[in-house]
Structure 1
Amino acid sequence: MATGWIFVVLAFVCTAYATKYKDGDKVMVYVNKVGPYFNPHETYHYYQLPVCHPDKIEHKSLTLGEVLDGDRMAVSLYDIKFKEDVDNKLLCKAKLSDPDLTTLRDAIEDLYYFEFVLDDIPVRGFIGHLEEGGFLPHNHKVYLWAHLHFNIEHNGDQVIYANVSTKDRSPISLEGQTAPMEVPFTYSVKWIPTETKYADRGKRMRDSSFFPKTLEIHWLSIINSMVLVFLLIGFVVIIMTRVLKNDFARYNLDEEEEVMDEEDNGWKIIHTDVFRFPPYRNIFCAILGVGSQFLAIATGILLMAVGGLFNVHQHWTLNSTAVVLYAATS
């Protein structure tokens, strides 16, 4: 009964609620984090870069799952209104010092990406562009994307999908630049109607993954592994059945033969060890208990994932579910 209530609570937590807008309503855009593209687990706050930011940085209240996911959402300067296109709007003019230029160059050379959050949709793009050429001598040029173009799909009064493009304007070269350097950061917005329903926007986001899809499920390999496990279990059962059958046949002999057989045979040899405590039983019980707990957590998460209770646009739900299941199974 308790397990059933746990799944009901988790299903309620993981349910997504659509935000409905009226024409002209402000759509909040939160800046989140930056980090190397090929190491998504190394992230920093977006405002650690010398970019446009408010005079007073206001952070968004985060859920437990968002905190575990390393999110650092803060209010941005982007002013986006529902269904209102923006051609070219100035965000701010940033004055870059020598340390600022060095920070941006290092970030671009390390292929840093940024992540914004718009209506619970992660929007990602690259900080800049690195152009390499020649072998001897080797040279490369560093460019900064100072203009962002937002493409936002909507169905009626709901936001369905959003992405950002950095190639609508020419980048700004940082090579040979000296401080102070003034960089105008601009943005544009295009609203696109779509027939995709809000319930299907998770699939829309999965089909447009920013990171390479290296963790695809290979169902054929899983099935082959399961078949192999069942075959091994079957072989062990057959061998054990034959061994025990021979032992039982010998124990069912008549009394004369049984009297002559004074020594223990087969599984009776270890009958005194069956109820003997193993060495380091406390450690053994702890390891067995933790393993069972992790197995229960993994099983619960897999069952909820198969049931479609996790939403891609609410990436914190998986972490929250794991923590709740860990606490419930302790």
Structure 2
Amino acid sequence: MSSKYRQSIQTPFPSLLAIYFLVLLLSSDGVLSFYVPGVAPVEFKKGDPLVIKAVKMTSSQTQLPYSYYSLPFCKPNASKLVYKSENLGEVLRGDRIVSTPYEFKLGQNVACQLACHNPETPLHWKPPYATEAFSHIEHHYFVHMIVDNLPCVTKTIGPGSSSVLGGAENEDTNANSHFHVGYPLGFMSQDNQHAYINNHLDFNILYHTDDEKSFRVVGCEITPSSVNRVFIRPKETDCAVPRVTAGQQNFQDNQEIKANTDNELFFTYSVVWTPSAVRWASRWDVYLQMTDANIHWFSIINSVVVVLFLTGIITMIIIRTLRRDIARYNNMEDSAEEALEEVGWKLVHGDVFRPPRYPRLFASLIGSGIQILGMAVVTIFFAMFGMLSPASRGALMSAMIFLYVIMGTFAGYHSSRLYRSMRGKEWKKQAFMTATLFPGIVFGTCFILNFFIWGKASSGAVPFGTMIWLLVLWFGISLPLVYLGAYFGFRKPYQHPVRTNQIPRQIPPQPWYIKPIASALMAGILPFGAMFIELFFIYNALWHNQFYYMFGFLFLVFLILLVSVSQIAVVLCYFQLCGEDYHWWWRVLFSSGGSAIYMFFYAVFYFHTRLEITEFIPTLLYFAYTGLMVLTAFLLTGTIGFYSSYIFLTKIYGAVKID
């Protein structure tokens, strides 16, 4: 790991108890509060210093984050240049939190001040930094900064609005107000031939106080400007900045960045302190209220109605039919001729639990699905109660990784138990496949992509030391936990209600809608429709650097997804068995995961309609990460559908009297 960033990644704990404790913490700050777990409000007094910290630079066009000082911005004194120790999630997100020369004293406005400590000498941005800056501006990079752990935003004020975050004149966020997290590094000319850098920042720091003695920071707005250096006349620490209004801007007044030459720059800033009625506990609300809740409710209600309709169909048709079939089949007074006329699912009772092809691979995929399902349920549950707020940076990703590692016990138990039920004998090999198949695909894909990201010198590249710790988590903790669960699961196989015949039954020709591709496409429509709206906002958060905090809606959508996938899997499995096709194991897995097919199609549609990615590496990153998301969704929904069908078959064949 590079010492430049002074990153601090904690090593895995040696005991399982310590791992559970780490997951409960989710970060070094604990989980004792609602918005920011374990973080008490920071009280400031007038005159106390307040430092703006830089996080990274991002662009939705390249999906490649860069550290703030990858460009030669003004730096504070060496003693004040401090890199924050980051958790695992922050490192994987590409965050590189570092102090900046923007240090203010609370309550003291600053008209205009040079950011660098030598007011007589401008900065010189020469190639390759000038070329890189030109490229960043061309790709619409935003600079992300924080103050008191709160993101700074660029305000976009609508009619009748005075402040995005709510100052003294506008206590409530106006419906016409919008904002972007961070501020744009610069802008291009109309012909896209010239780049202009925003070298002046107007900071508007919002604070709340009750007694005029202690103050709490509740907002940070930045208004960036591009000012030609000829208009900045240094006199000690003062400078003159011209002000132009929208529509009257003259590019000659802006500071241009030329790619292949030496650029002389001054960086300046001003500070205004604004009292706000927003309390500290509510200061994140404006960041987390970016979507219309009515859209989510409409989607959820629509999905619930469809699920209830599907439930009614299953209840009225399948259950009634099954009860009639079972009652007639178990009626010992029926004649032998009538018994011979029986067709459908009852005739394959001697083959329905026949082990599928590649049982070890099948059980490993189901085990991986159990591991993903457990991680998703616990993560969404805690996030729904505010314990994984965006304020706790990297907590969500860290929690998902550590929860996935811990869920290895359940993955090993259920996969090995299923493998034994399918007459498997080599449980150690099966446990190893369960522990390495899905994580190996994810790690291998990310490892290869990391070379491309390294080649771009992006902060999104995972440092070598972090990759070592991920391997330690994988082979040092997850793998032993999978073996531990497999040891107990192999000794407790599932008991099937009917015996399997030695000679397989011949399968008659099947209708077109029972075939694998058709069943997968039909089965995936309803689950995808249930999660479509939330998927849109999740994609926006991932690819446009926005905050996603609709975990309450996500939890409801997740429940609808579970119910819909389970019901559809049972229906298709029943239809397949009625056609006397007992090869249902793999069929149910693929049909239940059919929503992943639509998820991939939607990712392609989103790429062409919502993103402006044109280069090869960003395109590669998008489709590679999307492919991993699709695979994860496939295993999750496929596992849900399989166990629903497995329980369904156990129940109905257990109710049939077999001689």
TM-score normalised per structure 1: 0.82
Q: Deviations over 1:147-196 (max 9, x none)?
A: 11111111122111112111395563326798443211111111111121
Q: Secondary structure at the match of 2:47?
A: coil
Q: Which amino acid aligns with 2:202?
A: H
Q: Structure 1, unaligned stretches of length 5 or more?
A: 133-137
Q: Structure 2, unaligned stretches of length 5 or more?
A: 1-16, 117-121, 153-181, 210-214, 227-240, 243-252, 409-659
CA gap of 1:248–1:101, structure 2 versus 1, over 3 A, is: closer
Q: Which amino acid aligns with 2:71?
A: L
Report which of the two has the higher share of helix: 2
CA gap of 1:94–1:221, structure 2 versus 1, over 3 A, is: same
Q: Of the candidates 205, 218, 221, which is equivalent to residue 160 of structure 1?
A: 218
Distance 1:325 1:177 in 2: 46
Alpha-carbon contact 2:23-2:403 (below 8 Å) kept: no
CA gap of 1:72–1:216, structure 2 versus 1, over 3 A, is: farther
How far apart are residue 254 of structure 1 and its match?
5.4
Alpha-carbon contact 1:29-1:118 (below 8 Å) kept: yes
Q: Which residue of 2 aligns with 1:258?
A: 335
CA gap of 1:42–1:327, structure 2 versus 1, over 3 A, is: same
Q: Which residue of 1 aligns with 2:90?
A: 66
How far apart are residue 119 of structure 1 and its match?
1.0
Distance 1:9 1:250 in 2: 58
Alpha-carbon contact 1:146-1:172 (below 8 Å) kept: no
Q: Comparing both chains, which one has the higher relative contact order based on Cα–Cα distances under 8 Å and sequence gaps of 6 or more? A: 1
Q: Deviations over 1:122-164 (max 9, x none)?
A: 22101112220xxxxx564422211111111111221111121
Q: Which residue of 1 aligns with 2:278?
A: 196
Q: Which residue of 2 aligns with 1:242?
A: 320
Q: Which residue of 1 aligns with 2:570?
A: none
Alpha-carbon contact 1:128-1:142 (below 8 Å) kept: yes
Q: Secondary structure at the match of 1:229?
A: helix
Q: Of the candidates 253, 273, 298, which is equivalent to residue 376 of structure 2?
A: 298
Distance 2:390 2:183 in 1: 18
Report which of the two has the higher share of strand: 1
TM-score normalised per structure 2: 0.44
Q: Of the candidates 385, 392, 397, which is equivalent to residue 314 of structure 1?
A: 392
Equivalent residues in 2 for 1:107-256 (5 A)? Answer: 107-123=136-152, 124-132=182-190, 138=191, 140-156=193-209, 157-167=215-225, 169=241, 172-174=254-256, 179-207=261-289, 218-253=296-331, 255=333
Q: Of the candidates 1, 16, 25, which is equivalent to residue 48 of structure 2?
A: 25
How far apart are residue 274 of structure 1 and its match?
3.8
Distance 1:215 1:140 in 2: 42
Identity %: 30
Alpha-carbon contact 1:26-1:82 (below 8 Å) kept: yes
Q: Secondary structure at the match of 1:78?
A: strand
Q: Deviations over 1:90-140 (max 9, x none)?
A: 1123112243333322222221211112111122101112220xxxxx564
Alpha-carbon contact 2:132-2:259 (below 8 Å) kept: no
Q: Secondary structure at the match of 1:191?
A: strand
Q: Which moved more, 1:99-108 or 1:143-152?
A: 99-108
Q: Which amino acid aligns with 1:44?
A: Y
CA gap of 1:291–1:217, structure 2 versus 1, over 3 A, is: farther
Q: Which amino acid aligns with 1:41?
A: Q
Two-structure CA RMSD over aligned residues (Å): 3.2
Q: Which moved more, 1:21-30 or 1:116-125?
A: 21-30
Q: Of the candidates 349, 361, 386, which is equivalent to residue 271 of structure 1?
A: 349
How far apart are residue 260 of structure 1 and its match?
4.5
Alpha-carbon contact 1:33-1:44 (below 8 Å) kept: yes
Q: Which residue of 2 aligns with 1:135?
A: none
Distance 1:327 1:23 in 2: 47
Alpha-carbon contact 2:130-2:257 (below 8 Å) kept: no
CA gap of 1:176–1:286, structure 2 versus 1, over 3 A, is: closer
Distance 1:182 1:325 in 2: 50
